[in-house]
Amino acid sequence: MTEETEKAYIHWLCQAAGMGSGSFLRQLEQAGTARDVYDMAKRGILEEKLHIRYKHRAQRLQAAVKDYDVMGKYKDMRDRGICLVTCRETDYPEKLAAVQDAPYALYYAGRLPDHRKRSIALIGARSCSEYGRYMAKEFGAALARAGVQIVSGMARGIDGIGQMAALGAGGYSLGVFGCGVDICYPSGNRELYERLLAEGGVCSEYPPGVGPRAVLFPPRNRIISGLCDGVLVIESKEKSGTLITVDMALEQGREVYALPGRATDALSAGCNRLIRQGAQLVMSPQELLEELLADFNACPDRKVYCQQTLFIPEGVQGELLQLLDFQPKSMETLQEAYVSTYGKSVTVPALCHELLQLCVDGYAGCSNGNYYLIKG
């Protein structure tokens, strides 16, 4: 029997057994190949062959035999560019294979990560701040340029932004889904999804066609951390799905890195807590790279984010620039801050003019209408 035929039967098994059946599938191997299991199920004798505690699962498999075209279904899937790899194969990601409850089989499209290269999971809040957005871009791009593979969940917010930046920098990125790899979720990340298929990869333990459901997402987080050498948390609230990934990473013995934020920022509360609990504090991609890559030369031109801008324009513009921040501030706030900091008043029309000038000159940016922030 060729490898491909056996894979077709494994595909059937994965679909029929349902989610959370990794150990069951491993158990089944004792009964023989997937083909053997299929034959037994078809003859209705699988139930007797297995331990009594697998009775229900065996019955499900026997029921799933009816009207199922094993080879046809598998061929359809392969025609759509989706592959299947089991944990018994050498192609299976090495780092993941070492994890205790690694998925028995992994569906993927595009390329799987190269186990000889370093991988980092870049994760964080879905509704992120301007600061998080900016840092995700910086880290995603810098790490990718240094050859680190970026793994994440392709969620909106930090995940997607970091992955997009990695691809933009010409690097590799892998999206790990909580649904079938043929489903783009969230649909807003369509562009990223297409690019991942072409330039990186997407993978999932769920067979194609499985829709996104809330219960499917926490288990996929163990795959994200399992595929990586470390997990970098960019931004996270006190209670967040991101922290599930961190827990998984710690169980799997992965290093956890976190980007610090202000004490007053709800979106950095999770990160700051992680740091207190012992996560590595990183302030720039270079720091992380030195940590990650043994042969990474200490970077002389390390980017320091808290450095003051070297050239500050004169007059009101310069004064305004000092008041700006990575958190967008409204004109109202800036006007008040200006009055209280410099003891001078500034009229609304003048404020508009100077702020726009800063934007045009590239010092500042504006988001969401009249909210202004520093452009990094």
Please tell me whether residue 376 binds another protein under the rule CB under 8 A: no
249 CB contacts (<8 Å, ≥6 apart)? 121, 225, 228, 230, 231, 255, 256
Binding flags for another protein, 137-156, as an x/- string (CB under 8 A): -------------------x
Q: What is the DSSP code (8-state) at residue 112?
A: P
Q: How far is the CB of 232 from another protein (least distance, A)?
A: 20
Binding flags for another protein, 33-72, as an x/- string (CB under 8 A): ----------------------------------------
Binding flags for another protein, 230-269, as an x/- string (CB under 8 A): ----------------------------------xxxx--
The two beta strands, 83-86 and 105-110, are antiparallel
DSSP one-letter string for 235-254: ---SS-THHHHHHHHHHTT-
- Indicate the residue among 107 and 363 with the shorter CB distance to another protein: 363
Q: How far is the CB of 193 from another protein (least distance, A)?
A: 16
Angle CA 243–145–326, to nearest 5: 55
- Indicate the residue among 118 and 156 with the shorter CB distance to another protein: 156
231 CB contacts (<8 Å, ≥6 apart)? 120, 121, 123, 224, 225, 245, 246, 249, 254, 255, 256, 257
Beta-carbon neighbour count of residue 28 at 10 Å?
A: 25
- Of 312-371, binders to another protein (CB under 8 A) are 328, 330-333, 335-336, 348-350, 352-353, 355-357, 359-360, 366-371
The binder of another protein chosen from 20, 44, 81, 188 (CB under 8 A): 188
Please tell me whether residue 118 binds another protein under the rule CB under 8 A: no
Q: Starting at the edge strand that comes first in sequence, how are the strands of the sheet with 173-176 ordered?
A: 83-86, 105-110, 201-204, 173-176, 149-152, 119-123, 230-233, 255-258, 280-281
The binder of another protein chosen from 48, 76, 127, 213 (CB under 8 A): 127
Residues within the interface to another protein (CB under 8 A): 126-130, 156, 186, 188, 264-267, 328, 330-333, 335-336, 348-350, 352-353, 355-357, 359-360, 366-371
